[in-house]
Structure 1
Amino acid sequence: MKEIKLIPDAPFYNRVDVHVMDFPHGRDGEERQRCKITVEFAKTDVDDLRKRGMGLTEAMEYYRGWIYDIVKVHISQDWECISGMEETLAIVEERVKTFF
C-alpha cells in the first residue's frame, strides 16, 4: 500500500487545492508530488449532499471517501495517508458546516 502525504493550499471560499505527495525511496527519502486535487465545497455542492439526506457528519465521511477515491484513481493503487488528511478535512468542515 502506497504511503501518501496531503498538503492543502490556502483555501478559497468554495474549494481547496491539495498536493498529493509520495515517497518513491521511502519516508527517509525525498518526497515528490504525484498530482494535485481540488476539493470543492460550494453551497451547491453541499446542497446536493443535503438532498441525499446527509447531515454534517455524513457529509464529512463523504468528503473523506471522495478524497481517497480520487487519489486512488490518480496513483492507480490503494494508499494510506500518513499526514494531511485531518488538516484537509478541517478546512472542508469549517466551510461546509455553515450550510447545515
Structure 2
Amino acid sequence: MSNVYEFLNFDQLPAAEVTENGDKITITAPAIPGVGAGQEVVFFARTPLGSGIAIYVPLNQDSLKRPIEVVLDKSQLPNSKELYIDYGAYINKRAVHRSAVRSFPG
C-alpha cells in the first residue's frame, strides 16, 4: 500500500482568536471552506518545543458555515510561558493543513 495523502489548500486562513475569561480560554476559528460534514477540525495548543495537546472537533452539516469554537480550562493546557495555537482540518483522518499560528498569551 502506497503512502498517498490527500491535501486541501486553505489559502490565507487567519490565525485563531484566543480570548481569556478567568480560568478558561476560548479558541475561535472561522469556518473552513472546502471541509465537509463528517470531517474534523483539529486545534493544537503546543509549547515552543512542540509538546502539547490536540482537540478534535467533528463537523456536521449545521456547523460547516459557523465559526468553530473550543473552550478549555487553563489547567488542560501544557505548562509553558508561551503556547502556539493553530488549527486545521483532517481529510480522511490522514492529512492536515494548518492555519497561521497565534501565540498565547499574546
Same fold, TM-score > 0.5, yes or no: no
Normalised by the length of structure 2, the TM-score is 0.38
Structure having the higher strand fraction is 2
**Higher helix fraction (1 or 2):** 1
Q: Give the TM-score taking structure 1 as reference length.
A: 0.40
